[in-house]
C-alpha cells in the first residue's frame, strides 16, 4: 500500500481549503440567525426528538445544511493534521497549528450545541462567533507558515523584524487590539438587535442604539489610529515598503465596513446588508492580523 505523502505546494492547498471552509461556515452560520432558523432544529445533536435529520420546513432545512457543512469543515482540518505529519522535513509549527484547528472545530461543535440547548442565549452566540474568529486567526497563521514552507525547507531562525521603528510597531499592535475590540462590541450590538435567530430568543438587556454607539466609537478610534499609522509609515522608507499594501487593504475594507454598518443601522438592519457586514467583519480582523504579520517579518540578510 502506498504511503500517504504530501508536497509543500500540496499542503498549502490543503491549508487554503481549510481556511476557505472556516470562513464560509461563519457566513452560513450568520444566515441561520438572520433567517430566523436558529431553532429550526430545536434539539442537538439530533434535529428533533423524533428525527436526526429534518428538512420538513425551510427553517429546519437551513439549520440542517449548516450542521452538515460542519462535516466538510471537520474533514478539511482533519486532513490538514494527517498531512502535516507527513511533511518532510518535519514542521512542528504546521502540525501544531493544524491540531489547533481540529480542537477549535470540536469546541465550535460543542458551542453550537450549547447555543441550541440554551434557546439561542446571546452570550453563547457571542462565544460561538468569537471562537470562530480565533479559528480564522489560526487558519491564517497556518496559511502563512505553509507559504513560507513552500519556498523554505527549514524553519527560518528567529531574527529581529525588519521594521525597527518602535512607534510604528506599537501602532500596529494598537490597531490589532482596537480591531478586536470593534469585533467584540459588534457582537454586543447583534446580541441587542432584532436578528436573534428566533423571535422568542432572549436579547442582551442593552438598548441597541446604546450598543451601536459604543461599537461605532471603537470603530472610529480604530480607523483614526490606522490613518495615523498610514501617515507615519509613509515617512519611514522601510516601514512603507513593508506595510503599504497591508495598510491600504485594511483601510479600504475598514472604511467600507464602517459605511455598510451605518447604512444597515439607519435602514432598519436589512438581512442582506447585515450578512455582508458579518462577512466583512472577518475580513477586517484578518486585515489587521495581516498587518501585524507583515510588521513582524524578519530581515533576510
pLDDT of residue 27: 94
The number of residues making up the chain comes to 301
Range with lowest mean pLDDT among 25-39, 150-164, 244-258 = 150-164
Task: Please tell me the distance from the alpha carbon of residue 12 to that of residue 16, in angstroms, as a whole number.
Answer: 6
pLDDT of residue 299: 56
- CB within 8 Å of 183: residues ≥ 6 apart: 130, 133, 281, 284, 285
Q: Is 210 helix (H, G, I), strand (E, B) or coil?
A: helix
Q: Is 161 helix (H, G, I), strand (E, B) or coil?
A: strand
Name the one residue in this structure whose C-alpha cell is 480607523. 223
Residue 6 has a CB neighbour count (10 Å cut-off) of 18
- Mean pLDDT calculated for residue range 227-239: 96
Q: How far is CA 67 from the centre of its chain?
A: 18
Query: Cβ(208)–Cβ(192) under 8 Å?
Result: yes
How would you class 277 by CB atoms within 10 Å of its CB: exposed for 0-12, middle for 13-18, buried for 19 or more? buried
Residue 243 has a CB neighbour count (10 Å cut-off) of 24
- C-alpha distance from residue 2 to each of 5, 85 (Å): 9, 16
What are the grid coordinates assigned to 193, written together? 438587535
pLDDT of residue 62: 85
**Which one is predicted more confidently, 99 or 154?**
99
**Residue from 143, 70, 49, 61 nearest 112 by CA:** 70
pLDDT of residue 151: 67
Range with lowest mean pLDDT among 13-17, 192-196, 212-216 = 192-196
What are the grid coordinates assigned to 183, written together? 469585533
Q: What is the CA radius of gyration of the chain?
A: 21
- Mean pLDDT calculated for residue range 47-61: 73
Task: Please tell me the distance from the alpha carbon of residue 235 to that of residue 231, in angstroms, as a whole number.
Answer: 7
- CB within 8 Å of 72: residues ≥ 6 apart: 21
DSSP H helical segments within 152-270, as ranges?
Answer: 166-192, 208-234, 237-266
Residue 186 has a CB neighbour count (10 Å cut-off) of 25
The dihedrals phi and psi of 199, each to the nearest 5 degrees, come to: -65, -20
What are the grid coordinates assigned to 224, written together? 483614526
Q: How confident is the model at residue 218 (pLDDT cuts 50, 70, 90)?
A: very high
Query: Cβ(11)–Cβ(83) under 8 Å?
Result: yes
The yes-or-no verdict on residue 236 having pLDDT over 90 is yes
Range with lowest mean pLDDT among 92-101, 160-169, 233-242 = 160-169
Per-residue pLDDT tens digits for 145-175:
999 887 665 455 455 678 889 999 999 999 9
Q: How confident is the model at residue 1 (pLDDT cuts 50, 70, 90)?
A: very low
DSSP label at residue 269? -
Range with lowest mean pLDDT among 92-101, 108-117, 226-235 = 108-117
What are the grid coordinates assigned to 121, written together? 442565549
pLDDT of residue 301: 42
Task: Please tell me the distance from the alpha carbon of residue 6 to that of residue 1, in angstroms, as a whole number.
Answer: 16
Amino acid at each position: 500500500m502506498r504511503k500517504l505523502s504530501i508536497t509543500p505546494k500540496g499542503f498549502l492547498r490543503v491549508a487554503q481549503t481549510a481556511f476557505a471552509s472556516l470562513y464560509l461556515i461563519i457566513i452560513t452560520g450568520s444566515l441561520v440567525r438572520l433567517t430566523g432558523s436558529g431553532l429550526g432544529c430545536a434539539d442537538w445533536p439530533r434535529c428533533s426528538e423524533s428525527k436526526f435529520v429534518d428538512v420538513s420546513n425551510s427553517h429546519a432545512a437551513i439549520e440542517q445544511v449548516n450542521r452538515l457543512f460542519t462535516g466538510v469543515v471537520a474533514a478539511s482540518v482533519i486532513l490538514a493534521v494527517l498531512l502535516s505529519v507527513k511533511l518532510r522535513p518535519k514542521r512542528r509549527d504546521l502540525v501544531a497549528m493544524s491540531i489547533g484547528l481540529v480542537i477549535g472545530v470540536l469546541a465550535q461543535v460543542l458551542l453550537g450545541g450549547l447555543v441550541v440547548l440554551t434557546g439561542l442565549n446571546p452570550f453563547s452566540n457571542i462565544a460561538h462567533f468569537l471562537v470562530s474568529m480565533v479559528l480564522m486567526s489560526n487558519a491564517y497563521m497556518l496559511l502563512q507558515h505553509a507559504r513560507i514552507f513552500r519556498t523554505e525547507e527549514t524553519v527560518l531562525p528567529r531574527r529581529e523584524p525588519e521594521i525597527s521603528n518602535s512607534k510604528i510597531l506599537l501602532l500596529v499592535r494598537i490597531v490589532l487590539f482596537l480591531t478586536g475590540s470593534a469585533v467584540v462590541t459588534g457582537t454586543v450590538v447583534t446580541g441587542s438587535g432584532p436578528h436573534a435567530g428566533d423571535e422568542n430568543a432572549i436579547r442582551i438587556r442593552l438598548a441597541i442604539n446604546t450598543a451601536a454607539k459604543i461599537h461605532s466609537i471603537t470603530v472610529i478610534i480604530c480607523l483614526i489610529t490606522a490613518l495615523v499609522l498610514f501617515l507615519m509609515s509613509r515617512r519611514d522608507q522601510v516601514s512603507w515598503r513593508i506595510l503599504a499594501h497591508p495598510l491600504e487593504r485594511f483601510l479600504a475594507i475598514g472604511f467600507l465596513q464602517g459605511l455598510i454598518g451605518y447604512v444597515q443601522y439607519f435602514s432598519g438592519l436589512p438581512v442582506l446588508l447585515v450578512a455582508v457586514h458579518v462577512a466583512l467583519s472577518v475580513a477586517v480582523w484578518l486585515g489587521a492580523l495581516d498587518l501585524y504579520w507583515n510588521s513582524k517579518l524578519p530581515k533576510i540578510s
